[in-house]
Amino acid sequence: MADFFVEFEITNYERFRNLVTVVDALRASKAADDWHDDEYWLSFFDDAARSHFWWPTPAELEDWKHRWFSTPVPQRFSDPSLQTPWDFASMIDAFRNGDYELVGCTQSGAKMARLDFEPFGHPYGGCGCMKALIESFGFRVVAEPVA
Protein backbone atom coordinates (compact mmCIF):
# COMPACT_ATOMS: atom_id res chain seq x y z
CA MET A 1 0.00 0.00 0.00
CA ALA A 2 1.09 3.53 -0.73
CA ASP A 3 1.91 6.07 1.97
CA PHE A 4 -0.46 8.59 0.37
CA PHE A 5 -4.13 7.77 -0.03
CA VAL A 6 -7.69 9.02 0.08
CA GLU A 7 -9.83 6.71 2.21
CA PHE A 8 -13.58 6.40 1.79
CA GLU A 9 -16.62 4.38 2.82
CA ILE A 10 -18.05 1.84 0.38
CA THR A 11 -21.84 2.05 0.29
CA ASN A 12 -22.49 0.18 -2.95
CA TYR A 13 -20.20 -2.54 -4.27
CA GLU A 14 -21.31 -2.24 -7.90
CA ARG A 15 -20.52 1.48 -7.87
CA PHE A 16 -17.21 0.66 -6.16
CA ARG A 17 -16.30 -1.70 -9.03
CA ASN A 18 -17.19 1.10 -11.47
CA LEU A 19 -14.90 3.49 -9.59
CA VAL A 20 -12.06 0.94 -9.66
CA THR A 21 -12.50 0.65 -13.44
CA VAL A 22 -12.16 4.43 -13.85
CA VAL A 23 -9.13 4.59 -11.57
CA ASP A 24 -7.47 1.75 -13.52
CA ALA A 25 -8.06 3.61 -16.80
CA LEU A 26 -6.71 6.87 -15.32
CA ARG A 27 -3.68 5.04 -13.91
CA ALA A 28 -2.91 3.47 -17.32
CA SER A 29 -3.32 6.78 -19.16
CA LYS A 30 -1.18 8.61 -16.63
CA ALA A 31 1.58 5.97 -16.72
CA ALA A 32 1.68 5.97 -20.53
CA ASP A 33 0.98 9.72 -20.87
CA ASP A 34 -1.67 8.69 -23.41
CA TRP A 35 -4.83 10.66 -22.75
CA HIS A 36 -8.24 10.30 -24.34
CA ASP A 37 -10.90 12.91 -25.04
CA ASP A 38 -13.75 13.73 -22.67
CA GLU A 39 -16.15 11.41 -24.51
CA TYR A 40 -13.95 8.45 -23.65
CA TRP A 41 -13.83 9.40 -19.98
CA LEU A 42 -17.55 10.15 -19.84
CA SER A 43 -18.25 6.56 -20.90
CA PHE A 44 -17.15 5.44 -17.41
CA PHE A 45 -19.72 7.67 -15.66
CA ASP A 46 -23.45 7.07 -15.38
CA ASP A 47 -25.96 9.91 -15.00
CA ALA A 48 -25.74 9.81 -11.20
CA ALA A 49 -21.94 10.19 -11.27
CA ARG A 50 -22.10 12.90 -13.94
CA SER A 51 -24.56 14.91 -11.84
CA HIS A 52 -21.83 15.63 -9.26
CA PHE A 53 -19.96 17.86 -11.71
CA TRP A 54 -20.58 21.43 -12.79
CA TRP A 55 -21.82 21.65 -16.37
CA PRO A 56 -22.24 25.44 -16.88
CA THR A 57 -23.76 26.87 -20.00
CA PRO A 58 -21.55 29.42 -21.79
CA ALA A 59 -23.65 32.20 -20.23
CA GLU A 60 -23.31 30.73 -16.72
CA LEU A 61 -19.56 30.38 -17.15
CA GLU A 62 -19.26 33.96 -18.41
CA ASP A 63 -21.31 35.22 -15.45
CA TRP A 64 -19.16 33.24 -13.02
CA LYS A 65 -15.92 34.58 -14.57
CA HIS A 66 -17.25 38.13 -14.35
CA ARG A 67 -18.10 37.69 -10.66
CA TRP A 68 -14.77 35.92 -9.96
CA PHE A 69 -12.59 38.61 -11.50
CA SER A 70 -14.62 41.48 -10.02
CA THR A 71 -14.28 40.06 -6.49
CA PRO A 72 -11.22 41.21 -4.53
CA VAL A 73 -8.56 38.48 -4.41
CA PRO A 74 -8.72 37.88 -0.63
CA GLN A 75 -12.49 37.21 -0.86
CA ARG A 76 -12.54 34.99 -3.98
CA PHE A 77 -11.80 31.75 -2.18
CA SER A 78 -14.15 32.38 0.74
CA ASP A 79 -17.19 33.77 -1.09
CA PRO A 80 -19.77 30.94 -1.15
CA SER A 81 -21.43 32.35 -4.27
CA LEU A 82 -18.19 31.72 -6.20
CA GLN A 83 -17.81 28.10 -5.09
CA THR A 84 -18.76 25.51 -7.69
CA PRO A 85 -18.38 21.76 -7.90
CA TRP A 86 -15.56 20.43 -10.08
CA ASP A 87 -16.28 20.52 -13.78
CA PHE A 88 -15.63 17.19 -15.45
CA ALA A 89 -12.87 18.25 -17.87
CA SER A 90 -10.95 20.02 -15.09
CA MET A 91 -11.05 16.90 -12.94
CA ILE A 92 -9.60 14.76 -15.75
CA ASP A 93 -7.01 17.46 -16.48
CA ALA A 94 -6.00 17.56 -12.79
CA PHE A 95 -5.33 13.82 -12.89
CA ARG A 96 -3.28 14.31 -16.04
CA ASN A 97 -1.18 17.11 -14.57
CA GLY A 98 -0.84 15.91 -10.97
CA ASP A 99 2.78 15.19 -10.03
CA TYR A 100 2.12 11.68 -8.71
CA GLU A 101 1.70 8.07 -9.74
CA LEU A 102 -1.75 6.58 -9.31
CA VAL A 103 -1.24 3.23 -7.58
CA GLY A 104 -4.83 1.99 -7.57
CA CYS A 105 -8.10 1.75 -5.74
CA THR A 106 -8.58 -1.18 -3.36
CA GLN A 107 -10.83 -2.32 -0.58
CA SER A 108 -9.10 -1.87 2.77
CA GLY A 109 -11.78 -3.17 5.15
CA ALA A 110 -15.32 -4.52 5.28
CA LYS A 111 -16.80 -1.21 4.12
CA MET A 112 -13.69 0.87 3.52
CA ALA A 113 -11.49 1.48 0.51
CA ARG A 114 -8.64 3.73 -0.50
CA LEU A 115 -7.30 5.35 -3.61
CA ASP A 116 -3.51 5.08 -3.29
CA PHE A 117 -1.01 7.38 -4.97
CA GLU A 118 2.68 8.22 -4.69
CA PRO A 119 3.70 11.88 -5.14
CA PHE A 120 6.90 12.58 -7.01
CA GLY A 121 7.54 15.80 -5.13
CA HIS A 122 5.94 18.63 -3.22
CA PRO A 123 3.70 20.24 -4.20
CA TYR A 124 2.15 17.37 -6.15
CA GLY A 125 -1.14 19.06 -7.02
CA GLY A 126 -3.26 17.85 -4.13
CA CYS A 127 -5.95 15.23 -4.02
CA GLY A 128 -9.01 17.39 -4.81
CA CYS A 129 -9.58 15.62 -8.11
CA MET A 130 -9.38 12.25 -6.36
CA LYS A 131 -11.98 13.33 -3.81
CA ALA A 132 -14.23 14.66 -6.59
CA LEU A 133 -13.95 11.35 -8.45
CA ILE A 134 -14.71 9.28 -5.34
CA GLU A 135 -17.64 11.48 -4.35
CA SER A 136 -19.10 11.36 -7.85
CA PHE A 137 -19.72 7.64 -7.33
CA GLY A 138 -21.59 8.39 -4.10
CA PHE A 139 -18.89 7.64 -1.53
CA ARG A 140 -17.91 9.74 1.48
CA VAL A 141 -14.24 10.55 1.93
CA VAL A 142 -13.13 9.93 5.51
CA ALA A 143 -9.35 10.54 5.35
CA GLU A 144 -6.88 12.28 3.09
CA PRO A 145 -3.24 13.36 3.29
CA VAL A 146 -2.50 16.48 5.29
CA ALA A 147 -0.80 19.07 3.09
Cα within 13 Å of Cα(32), Cβ side: 9
The pTM for the full model equals 0.92
Helix pair angle (13-32, 88-97), 10° resolution: 50
Give the residue among 102, 111, 108 at the shortest CA–CA distance from 133. 102
Q: For residues 53 and 46, is the Cβ–Cβ distance under 8 A?
A: no
The single-letter DSSP state of residue 80 is G
pLDDT tens for the chain, 147 residues: list them: 568 999 999 999 999 999 999 999 999 999 999 999 999 999 999 999 999 999 999 999 999 999 999 999 989 999 999 999 999 999 999 999 999 999 999 999 999 999 999 999 888 888 999 999 999 999 999 999 875
